[in-house]
Structure 1
């Protein structure tokens, strides 16, 4: 995906786009409450595959998410998947909490051979079969596709169609993570294959663009992204999940290039209620604090069908947990 790992992959595209600073965050009032007892509003959380293997996975409250995406589980150059230790146990734990688990394939630095694997009917069919077998092996609830940039080529649509044909009879979900910067590369037919779409509404700028310092995930970006996919592209709002970052980017002297939200508020006391911190040396760390995450969740409750988090283990604990802020807003909307 996603977040800080896509710097090199998206540099050329972002270079053509002007980086706008975030504007004020107007209060959003939810006109329609979520029906009592409804679980239709999604809270999708991403988790790194290596955290599954090293046993660090369950350091968040499973009851506060509805879908868990494991990023990234990719095949080898022949289209075969290797064993991921700990995944079966994690799936069982998640299912015990009524959380659906998906394997997320691709990523901002996806293996270059994906282009070859989906290039013709034969290799694509083998990959699709391997992916379907992966969902059976670990009792997964579906597949999340995060192919970006040049990977969304003339063969992408056929890949999605073929994958849907195999997963749907198994009652498996097919979802995707997309960035609006690549919007014109996704055909309407390809988008129609997905059960829901996670919008990566972040990484507007970052360390790969040092001459463009500023907020990488401003509130107005969330508004514009939702307006584009629901309005311009005509996708039902219920199929859209608004991406929320649990990390920040630093520009200038005295700040790190990237930090988790947990590290930001530990390093800069009082930062939890802000969106940026400027240090004595002159550098600034930009991120989404508690107030902005709450505002974006309220926006999503009105204009989308869920939110998506990159990524869960970057969150702080206790009263400063961004996931808890999201959970509180969703529960309040159900009352």
Structure 2
């Protein structure tokens, strides 16, 4: 999964072959600088100052943005910093001699650190990637990790660099360890983690996704339990799937989360990665929206010459809900590729996480709240129900019951209640639906329609089966269990 190659969308018109673009880009923009000068500067660096309060923002849930500042020209000022808990700036490229190629835009990193810390965001830097100048970066990782002297030089160099730029940690993007390099990968993680922890810094890693929740392929099975436990969190790269027409389907993320849960990794350490680009076209999310704003609500566009399979807002929202139920965060790659208006994926993710975070009460945790949450999405817009509105729930028979008034008012119905007959009447566009508490049918324009359960009163609010609330007015209801979302359309 070529993370560095996501910059292809930036310069795709300049290159005839997308697979060589990154090679040319790095060759032009990066200066091959030895590490020695960086280490010398670090001796006069200021003490490390961490961003405060990032995890408290969402009760421990992480919202991580991958920001390839060296590949894109998106200004730091355009980032929606209050949404994030972490931003990962990419990329430092390891060299075979234990040094690394420093960032092409160090001033941009300094600006990100300053503004990110002011907003309570932790700033990490990504180390590695997939290829550089046509060569797999993993080759240099393996050479360094196999030599104790090179490994010491490399890890200490990263610590010095972190202190110089006042960052909060690193994301290790070793793509990917093998069974042969498994032990040296573990040693690298443990040594780097120990050095960073001593300075109050963190360490995450980006790892591949999997379709098998029990037996992951070599790229992740080679990551030892000791290495995984040492990391503060792992970013699951649940995109670029080769075995499905869609490169980032929701089931891929779900199975990848399950794999790490089955291995015993704490859910709060698992961060579900989501893309903001399409394949095989490599078009960015913002470019697809520029073609048609309705593309924000789709997962496929028949672009030419190559099609675009991607994640629109509904899928990104549902993946976020899935992660809030089962994992510990979401990661977005790459935040440069978002829009700046109401179709913004980052803004939607921030709203989703924020709305559910608000529901966490005393003695509750976020996953518990999210496990019990059911979201109604009406004509592509989420309906966030408050305690006063009443919230949907699943009864003992497994039926989804929803409060009547607010959802019907949302579609434009006028709702009244007759306390004597305990009957609710809803009127919309000449259609009249009547519901009586305790009866297992309803009236639609005088026609009796059976329901699979009776209308009930809960804490002073009338609840009906989900489909019964809307089908009386000709609406269609689709249910997705991944995010526990009901999609309501007409």
The 5 A counterparts of 1:1-335 are 2-3=2-3, 5=5, 38-50=58-70, 56-81=75-100, 82=102, 84-86=105-107, 87-109=109-131, 111=137, 112-150=139-177, 153=181, 154-180=183-209, 181=217, 182-205=219-242, 214-231=245-262, 233-250=263-280, 257-279=281-303, 284-335=307-358
Distance change >3 Å, CA 76–CA 294, structure 1 → 2: same
Deviation of 1:4 after TM superposition, in Å, equals 6.9
Q: Structure 2 CA distance, aligned partners of 1:201 and 1:323?
A: 17
> Following the alignment from structure 1 to structure 2, what is the Cα–Cα distance between the partners of residues 283 and 107?
25
Q: Report the CA distance between 1:275 and its aligned residue.
A: 0.6
Cα 1:38/1:5, change in 2 over 3 Å: closer
Tell me how far apart the structure 1 counterparts of residues 238 and 2 of structure 2 sit (CA, whole Å).
10
Contact map agreement 2:177 2:223 (CA 8 A) in 1 = no
Matched position secondary structure for 1:318: coil
Aligned length: 294
RMSD: 2.4
Instruction: Measure, in 1, the Cα distance between the counterparts of 2:305 and 2:56.
Output: 49
Q: TM-score, normalised by structure 1?
A: 0.81
Q: Which runs of 5 or more structure 1 residues have no equivalent in the other structure?
A: 9-34, 206-211, 251-256
Is residue 114–residue 151 contact of structure 1 (8 Å, CA) maintained in 2?
no
Considering fraction of residues, name the structure with more helix: 1
SS in 2 for 1:258: coil
- Deviation of 1:2 after TM superposition, in Å, equals 4.2
In structure 1, distance between residues paired with 2:357 and 2:166: 30
Q: SS of 1:145's equivalent?
A: strand
Question: Using the alignment, how far apart are the partners of 1:4 and 1:271 within structure 2?
Answer: 25
Call closer, same or farther: CA 1:36–1:309 in 2, change over 3 Å: closer
SS of residue paired to 2:289: helix
Distance 1:330 1:170, change over 3 A: same
Q: Say which SS state the counterpart of residue 144 (structure 1) adopts.
A: strand
The superposition leaves residues 46-68 of structure 1 with CA deviations (integer Å, 9 ceiling, x where unpaired) of 1114158x673332211111101
2: CA distance, partners of 1:38 / 1:282: 42
- Displacement of 1:149 in angstroms is 2.5
| Inter-partner Cα distance in structure 1 for 2:160 and 2:91 | 16
Q: TM-score, normalised by structure 2?
A: 0.56
Asked whether the equivalents of residues 277 and 337 of structure 2 are also in contact (C-alpha less than 8 Å), the reply is yes
How many angstroms does 1:122 deviate by? 1.0
* Counterpart-to-counterpart distance in 1, 2:163 and 2:187: 22
Output the CA distance in 2 between the equivalents of 1:193 and 1:331: 29
Q: Deviations over 1:288-318 (max 9, x none)?
A: 0010011111111111111001010111221
1:309 is paired with a residue of what secondary structure?
A: strand
Deviation at 1:283, TM superposition (A): 5.3
1:151 Cα shift? 6.6
Q: Secondary structure at the match of 1:74?
A: strand
Distance verdict in 2 for CA 1:303–1:213, change over 3 Å: closer
The separation in 1 between residues aligned to 2:115 and 2:71, in whole angstroms, is 15
Decide which structure has greater strand share: 2
DSSP-derived class of the 1:177 partner? strand
User: Which consecutive aligned stretches of 4+ in structure 1 deviate over 6 angstroms post-superposition?
Assistant: none
Partner Cα distance (1:162, 1:285) in 2: 41
- Cα contact 1:36–1:334 (8 A) shared by 2: no
* Aligned equivalents of 1:286, 1:75: Cα separation in 2: 32
Residues 251-309 of structure 1, C-alpha deviations (whole Å, 9 max, x = no match): xxxxxx21100001212442111111125x79531000010011111111111111001
Greater mean deviation of Cα atoms: 189-198 or 79-88: 79-88
Alpha-carbon distance, 1:69 to partner: 0.4
Tell me the secondary structure at the aligned position of residue 45 of structure 1.
strand
Q: Which fold has the larger relative contact order, with Cα–Cα distance below 8 Å and residues 6 or more apart in sequence?
A: 1
